[in-house]
């Protein structure tokens, strides 16, 4: 796994705003060609608008406003990953619990902007957003939020990333990978609705 991280990456300029346990993730993220992300509570960081991101950090952090500003800036810079040209931007498959769309994080106005951003992101050919509705009973994502990172030409095994407020786990064992990737496939094939702007929607 460490062979995929870039020890001279742009993110090192953020210093202490980037926890050591997350620095590895940002390095891995920069090397992938496929990201699969299920989230039960929040819009993934790569698709967040700035005000939504700031609201999330303020409610979940004891850091100062300056430190939060740094973390928000880091997250906004990471979003360039989805539109980079060389190497090609990774495929980003997102699965969201319907609650993510219903909870007005940051207030109504912020959430309107955030939902618009989600729809806008689906205009990118490499971004696919799906929602698991409340009407769906039990489903494969119920065990919690996870990210699966896949690498070009399968030069490295997939990595499953699990995050908590104070750290993260990186899973690589075949049994762990099989269980998580199966959850993604089930969500994609049977239990989710694709988001996007229909042909009659305004540009």
Instruction: Give φ, ψ of 150 to 5 degrees.
Output: -115, 145
Those residues with Cβ within 8 angstroms of residue 89's Cβ, 6 or more apart along the chain or in another chain:
81, 82, 83, 124, 126
pLDDT in tens, the chain (203 residues): 554 555 568 898 888 888 889 999 999 999 999 999 999 999 999 999 999 999 999 987 788 889 899 999 999 999 999 999 999 999 999 999 999 999 999 999 999 999 999 999 999 999 999 998 887 666 555 667 899 999 998 778 999 999 988 899 999 988 888 877 767 666 665 566 888 775 434 43
Q: Which two tokens stand for residue 92?
A: 């980003």
State residue 134's pLDDT score: 80
Those residues with Cβ within 8 angstroms of residue 83's Cβ, 6 or more apart along the chain or in another chain:
89, 124
β partners of residue 37: 94, 147
Contact 90, 33 (CB under 8 A): yes
What does the alpha-carbon distance between residue 80 and residue 103 come to, in Å, rounded to a whole number?
26
How far is the first Cα of the chain from the last one, in angstroms, to the nearest whole number?
41
Q: Which two tokens stand for residue 191?
A: 């239990």
Contact 28, 149 (CB under 8 A): yes
Domains of the chain: 2-194 (3.30.870)
State residue 6's pLDDT score: 56
State residue 139's pLDDT score: 59
Positive/negative CA dihedral, 132, 177, 146, 40: positive
Q: Which two tokens stand for residue 25?
A: 């993730």
């Amino acid at each position: 796994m460490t062979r995929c991280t870039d020890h001279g990456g742009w993110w090192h300029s953020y210093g202490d705003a980037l926890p050591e346990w997350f620095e590895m993730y940002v390095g891995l993220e920069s090397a992938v060609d496929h990201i699969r992300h299920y989230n039960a509570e929040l819009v993934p960081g790569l698709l967040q608008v700035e005000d939504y991101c700031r609201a999330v950090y303020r409610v979940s952090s004891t850091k100062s406003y300056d430190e939060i500003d740094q973390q928000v800036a880091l997250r906004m810079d990471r979003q360039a990953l989805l539109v980079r040209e060389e190497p090609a931007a990774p495929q980003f498959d997102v699965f969201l619990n319907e609650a993510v769309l219903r909870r007005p994080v940051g207030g109504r106005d912020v959430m309107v902007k955030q939902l618009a951003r989600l729809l806008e992101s689906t205009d990118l050919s490499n971004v696919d957003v799906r929602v698991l509705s409340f009407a769906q009973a039990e489903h494969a994502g119920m065990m919690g939020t996870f990210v699966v990172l896949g690498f070009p030409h399968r030069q490295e095994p997939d990595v499953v990333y699990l995050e908590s407020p104070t750290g993260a786990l990186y899973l690589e064992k075949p049994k762990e990978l099989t269980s998580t990737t199966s959850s993604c496939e089930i969500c994609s094939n049977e239990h989710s609705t694709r988001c996007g702007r229909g042909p009659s929607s305004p540009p």
